[in-house]
């Protein structure tokens, strides 16, 4: 089994099309198809269900995809390690982040990283914490900034970044808007606006308000605050959201649920580029402090 075969296989799996995969890999389609057939013969299993319009992974193909990504990621990490010994960091760095990462100015950190390591191609993806951690496991991301998992994670390296309290977000004319603090019981019967279940803050609030009625489910911070502003529901959000708008009232909580915690996640053996970004984040936090 050759690395080039695995690269071709991953390209076809992600593109769901041999022609597009060949174009992406800058190779003739016949050569790519031949490499895939050779890989299938070696493994003794069909990896794709082929049709005139699209190709789909077989169960064997889905199993191989996870390991192929890991193998290619490990190969990249090996190359990066040798380059780092020579004083160079190169290759690619796939970064994941939740929205509104208040503890560090990620665009600024990435810009500084790019200036220091111009040979590294940076990609950024936003998403829910669970999705981002799964993509670290699959080798599709090198590093991710997420909500700290509520349970122990043994297969990833998790480092805490910051902690902050939750506050109530409500409309300016809401019955609780003039309070200094509110209790969880005060929210009984209120419709809620919240993120999708994969989001870390949603999980944290669900733990203390399991029976609440979620009327609006969104996947971005600004939509959540807009819905709250128009009085369509209330939300429990990290305190740092309060700097985003003056058209929503933010009220402290008397019986504070567990705090909102953010962290940074990598594989157990992060690449040289991921390690360098971790160092840049630590320096940025230290400078901010």
pLDDT band at 288 (very low <50, low <70, confident <90, very high): low
On whether residue 108 sits in a domain, the answer given is: yes
On whether residue 78 sits in a domain, the answer given is: no
The average pLDDT across 164-176 equals 95
Our count of domains for the chain comes to 3
Q: Are residues 43 and 119 in the same domain?
A: no
The average pLDDT across 19-27 equals 90
User: In whole numbers, what is the pLDDT of the chain averaged over residues?
Assistant: 89
- Give yes or no for residue 75 having a pLDDT over 60: yes
The average pLDDT across 40-52 equals 90
Please report the pLDDT score of residue 79 as a whole number.
Answer: 72
Please report the pLDDT score of residue 97 as a whole number.
Answer: 94
Q: Are residues 180 and 147 in the same domain?
A: no
- Give yes or no for residue 287 having a pLDDT over 70: no
The average pLDDT across 150-174 equals 90
Q: What is the CATH number of the domain that holds 123?
A: 3.40.190.10
Please report the pLDDT score of residue 140 as a whole number.
Answer: 85
pLDDT tens profile 243-266:
899 999 999 999 877 888 899 999
The CA-based dihedral angle spanning residues 85, 86, 90, 95, taken in that order and rounded to the nearest 10 degrees: 30
Q: Are residues 27 and 110 in the same domain?
A: no
Q: Which of 66, 100, 120 is the last residue of a domain?
A: 66
pLDDT band at 85 (very low <50, low <70, confident <90, very high): low
Please report the pLDDT score of residue 88 as a whole number.
Answer: 62
On whether residue 77 sits in a domain, the answer given is: no
Domain that holds residue 198: 166-258
């Amino acid at each position: 089994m050759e690395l080039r075969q695995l690269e071709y296989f991953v390209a076809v799996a992600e593109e769901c099309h041999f022609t597009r995969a060949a174009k992406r890999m800058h190779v003739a389609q016949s050569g790519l198809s031949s490499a895939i057939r050779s890989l299938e013969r070696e493994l003794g299993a069909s990896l794709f269900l082929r049709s005139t319009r699209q190709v789909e992974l077989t169960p064997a193909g889905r199993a191989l995809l996870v390991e192929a990504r890991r193998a290619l990621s490990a190969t990249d990490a090996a190359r990066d390690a040798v380059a780092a010994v020579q004083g160079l960091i190169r290759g690619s760095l796939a970064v994941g982040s939740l929205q509104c990462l208040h503890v560090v100015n990620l665009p600024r950190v990435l810009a500084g990283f790019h200036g220091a390591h111009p040979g590294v191609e940076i990609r950024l993806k936003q998403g829910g914490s669970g999705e981002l951690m799964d993509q670290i496991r699959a080798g599709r991301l090198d590093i991710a900034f997420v909500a700290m998992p509520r349970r122990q994670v043994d297969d990833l390296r998790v480092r805490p970044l910051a902690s902050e309290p939750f506050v109530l977000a409500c409309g300016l004319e809401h019955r609780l808007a003039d309070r200094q603090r509110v209790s969880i019981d005060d929210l009984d019967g209120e419709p809620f606006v919240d993120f999708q279940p994969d989001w870390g803050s949603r999980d944290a609030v669900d733990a203390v308000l399991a029976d609440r009625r979620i009327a609006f489910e969104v996947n971005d911070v600004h939509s959540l605050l807009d819905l709250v502003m128009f009085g369509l529901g209330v939300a429990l959000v990290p305190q740092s959201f309060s700097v985003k708008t003056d058209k929503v009232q933010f009220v402290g909580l008397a019986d504070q649920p567990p705090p909102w915690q953010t962290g940074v996640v990598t594989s157990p053996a992060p690449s040289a580029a991921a390690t360098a970004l971790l160092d840049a984040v630590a320096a940025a936090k230290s400078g901010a402090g």
